[in-house]
Amino acid sequence: MSQNVSKKKVIIIGASSGIGKCLAKVFSEHGYAVGITARRLELLSEAAKECPSDVFIKQMDVSNPVEAMGILEEIIKEMGGVDTVVINAGVGFDNQDLIWEKENKTIGVNVIGFTAIANVAMKHFLKQKSGHLVGISSIAAIRGNPSAPAYNASKAFISNYLEAMRLKAIKSKIPITVTDIQPGFVGTAMAQGEGTFWVTSAKQAATQIFNAIRKKKKHAYVTRRWRIIAWLFRIMPDWILAKIL
């Protein structure tokens, strides 16, 4: 597709469905050139049809980190640079039986895959002396969960890593913004189980995430009322948390 060098550019990692797909559409409606990646190429093609601006598509599996890093470098080059990278790719399982395959896959995607993409994005922003790195973490990052130990721990890793990148940007004195998005329950395939509450649509979540990015916030809960749960989780003693999780 044609390129407009003056147009703002965003790349969304994990944009074939849910939040990522809706976020690509929101950015596109606001005039951004959009790069989208995911494992399922056919779903990316469907997502691209809903975007009114220029769209660049790359098949990517972040569980293959070295390959994914090369693909991100390729799409950045094809787009003529990028202003914002949103890392939305992630998996999660209910894993009360501690099945190793589920724990391993969660760590591979949410920790190793995330770090690989963040590494490429941050190096690019440092080189071009500007940029915006966004990670989709979770309210789950706040405390451990016996039903999904690797998932909650992986989201805590994401939040901590993003903080490190923010501090790195401050120390470098380069205007790089780093945003940690912590959603609660969103109506996607990731929101499983009968005990979910305050579930928001992927469209509403994407709108709030876009607004947080546009305002260059360093942190945002989605939806905003989840800050109440975040506060409660932080002060809740272990014996109460063990009963409700």
Q: Which residues does the chain have with pLDDT short of 70?
A: 1-6, 187-198
Q: Confirm whether 4 is domain-assigned.
A: no
112/20 Cα distance (integer angstroms)? 19
pLDDT at 2: 39
The domain in which residue 83 lies consists of 9-244
Instruction: State the Rg of the chain over Cα.
Output: 17
pLDDT at 190: 52
Q: Confirm whether 1 is domain-assigned.
A: no
Type of residue at 73: E
Q: Confirm whether 103 is domain-assigned.
A: yes
pLDDT at 1: 41
pLDDT at 244: 83
Number of structural domains found in the chain: 1
Q: Confirm whether 65 is domain-assigned.
A: yes
CB 53 within 8 A of CB 28: yes
CB 34 within 8 A of CB 24: yes
Q: What is the CATH number of the domain that holds 194?
A: 3.40.50.720
Q: Confirm whether 135 is domain-assigned.
A: yes
- Give me 199's structure tokens: 């579930």
CB 84 within 8 A of CB 30: no
Q: Confirm whether 2 is domain-assigned.
A: no
